[in-house]
Structure 1
């Protein structure tokens, strides 16, 4: 069983047990949401998005086609995901470049991730960071552009 707030607009039926979707969330047909996720208010998830288990998507996050979010990921409020490297009004690319967030990673509030980047397992992206390249597993990154501040050990999370 999952819970969908009556003010959410959810078109997919591919939702795992225990997932909660709050008011004003929009989830397109064919999106896949795992078990025990928390999809907060004022979010949007397009149809070619796959979300693993125990993922938190905070308010103001839009996940565009091609995004792949593995299990145990935290996405902070207003984090910005992109999928078109040369956006123009009414001009669409042949394909979109989705963002991949690996297991256990955390994305801070207001971080911006450019098309096609991968954030490695258990990495942490600081609030306001602009991610222009892949982030290594266990790396803590911050700044514009993102730079590695340190690496986490198993005792850090």
Structure 2
């Protein structure tokens, strides 16, 4: 018996690593060379392309394609039908293949809202939050809250997901201080 679950309607290519307690639901495709951590969940119709790396505890909702060149660290949330790109200047007649892909990194604990788009070549900072429908065209600092088209920073969020006020203290007890364009924790859990 397998240590992970793959629905019978899904395909897992050869040379794939899937961590313990991960669940892959209906109509998914996990392509060659993909590396997926433990305790992840992939909703209906998710595609994980060749050589993609996904950390532990990630949640990928329905209708998301994670293209080659994208990496998800631990506890990343990808909302329904959000979009990744991996080529800034694609042409059907002149495909570049992996050598033309721009790397995209989603750092630990960040969340991407439904129908948001992450343009390739950018980093989403740890515990950052991207609003539904936003289009991210540049790097996002740690704990930043981004919204709009193109996405702009509209505030900061706590690790727990609450929007922070000006005092940068959360009702959960976590406190932060500014460090350039980002935040850092100023107290222990």
TM category, shorter: over 0.9
Once residues 42 and 6 of structure 1 are traced to their aligned partners in structure 2, the CA distance between those partners, rounded to angstroms, is 13
Once residues 128 and 19 of structure 1 are traced to their aligned partners in structure 2, the CA distance between those partners, rounded to angstroms, is 27
Unaligned runs of 5+ in 2: 163-189
Deviation at 1:19, TM superposition (A): 0.2
Alpha-carbon contact 2:127-2:159 (below 8 Å) kept: no
Give secondary structure in 2 for the equivalent of 1:68: strand
Q: Which residue of 2 aligns with 1:146?
A: 151
Q: CA RMSD in A?
A: 1.3
1:112-153 per-residue CA deviation (whole Å, 9 max, x = no partner) reads: 111111100000000000000010100000000111111124
Unaligned runs of 5+ in 1: none
Q: 1:117 to 1:5 in 2, by over 3 A?
A: same
Larger Rg: 2
Q: Which residue of 2 aligns with 1:49?
A: 52
Matched, 1:95 2:97: no
Deviation at 1:92, TM superposition (A): 2.1
Q: Which residue of 2 aligns with 1:83?
A: 86
Matched, 1:70 2:73: yes
Aligned residues: 157
Give secondary structure in 2 for the equivalent of 1:110: coil
Q: Which residue of 2 aligns with 1:17?
A: 20
Q: Comparing both chains, which one has the higher relative contact order based on Cα–Cα distances under 8 Å and sequence gaps of 6 or more?
A: 1
Deviation at 1:154, TM superposition (A): 5.1
Alpha-carbon contact 1:66-1:98 (below 8 Å) kept: yes
Once residues 105 and 16 of structure 2 are traced to their aligned partners in structure 1, the CA distance between those partners, rounded to angstroms, is 22
Once residues 155 and 84 of structure 1 are traced to their aligned partners in structure 2, the CA distance between those partners, rounded to angstroms, is 33
Counterpart among 115, 119, 129 of residue 120 in structure 2: 115
